[in-house]
């Protein structure tokens, strides 16, 4: 079968977040979980997405799962964007695609300009006390902390400014004790004229990802967090990893729209 590496939430190669994408043959089920996990470990990117078409007439068009090199995850924005990009660019699907996932039905809508909009559930934010040890593990003093709910599974930490977020060099072993998946560190953009409203970095040591390049699922929590503070439903976030990427967000109540681009950089044949 064909396997592709797609850079998501970017319009140029070698930026954004790379994901493996495998389109499987029509089937009523996925291959064995151990095989899926081994392929994801071999690809060794933040996530590898596996999708197979579903029978016509149902609630969804494709079944979709995502694996990190260490574990299956309940939600993955960049893996969904990468899969939708492959479906659109290869002609395997046309127009909006409904994916059946562990997080419900997620819809990806391609646009004429090459961008794709994902319709994801908005993460429920719950203010919490900053856990003891988080400031020391991050190396920065939090302004606030929020739990992001079971689907995302992160602790969202607001920091003083963009410079503080960019300068983080966290103790990842210590951070792993404070959330199910990891930590989202965020701050308001220093200069919105640069083209983004807020900045973030995401550290996920619990699922084998020290720092994720661009995290779509995290923006389902960042969108309501910053929309409330900035007074707008439509925002752009910059995830400031070494590869970096932009995510346009539109808050619509219990749904969040995530829009970005993707680029296929490698296509090959999986022999195992």
Q: Which residues are known catalytic residues? A: 47
Give the Cα separation of 41 and 249 in Å (integer): 30
Residue 193 to residues 190, 196, 248, Cα–Cα distance (Å): 9, 7, 15
Residue 228 to residues 47, 217, 234, 251, Cα–Cα distance (Å): 30, 18, 11, 10
Give the Cα separation of 211 and 182 in Å (integer): 9
Give the Cα separation of 36 and 5 in Å (integer): 16
Give the Cα separation of 129 and 163 in Å (integer): 23
Is residue 216 exposed (0-12), middle (13-18) or buried (19+ Cβ within 10 Å)?
buried
What is the DSSP code (8-state) at residue 176? G
- Tell me the CA end-to-end span of the chain in Å, nearest whole number: 9
Length in residues, the chain: 272
């Amino acid at each position: 079968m064909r396997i592709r590496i797609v850079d998501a939430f970017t319009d140029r190669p070698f930026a954004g977040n790379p994901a493996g994408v495998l389109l499987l043959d029509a089937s009523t089920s996925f291959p064995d979980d151990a095989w899926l996990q081994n392929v994801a470990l071999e690809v060794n990117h933040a996530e590898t997405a596996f999708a197979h078409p579903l029978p016509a007439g149902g609630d969804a068009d494709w079944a979709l799962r995502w694996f990190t090199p260490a574990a299956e995850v309940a939600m993955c924005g960049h893996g969904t964007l990468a899969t939708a990009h492959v479906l659109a660019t290869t002609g395997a699907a046309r127009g909006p695609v409904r994916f059946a996932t562990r997080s419900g039905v997620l819809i990806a809508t391609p646009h004429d300009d090459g961008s794709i909009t994902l319709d994801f559930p908005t993460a429920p934010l719950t203010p919490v006390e900053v856990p003891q040890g988080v400031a020391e593990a991050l190396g920065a003093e939090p302004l606030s902390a929020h739990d992001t709910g079971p689907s995302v599974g992160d602790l969202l930490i607001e920091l003083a400014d963009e410079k503080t977020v960019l300068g983080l060099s966290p103790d990842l072993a210590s951070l792993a004790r404070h959330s199910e998946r990891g930590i989202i560190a965020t701050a308001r953009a220093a200069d919105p004229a640069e083209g983004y409203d807020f900045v973030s970095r995401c550290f996920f040591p619990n699922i084998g990802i020290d720092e994720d390049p661009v995290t779509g699922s995290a923006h389902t929590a960042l969108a309501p967090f910053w929309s409330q503070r900035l007074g707008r439903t439509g925002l752009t976030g910059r995830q400031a990893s070494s590869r970096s990427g932009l995510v346009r967000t539109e808050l619509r109540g219990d749904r969040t729209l995530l829009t970005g681009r993707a680029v296929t950089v490698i296509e090959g044949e999986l022999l195992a």
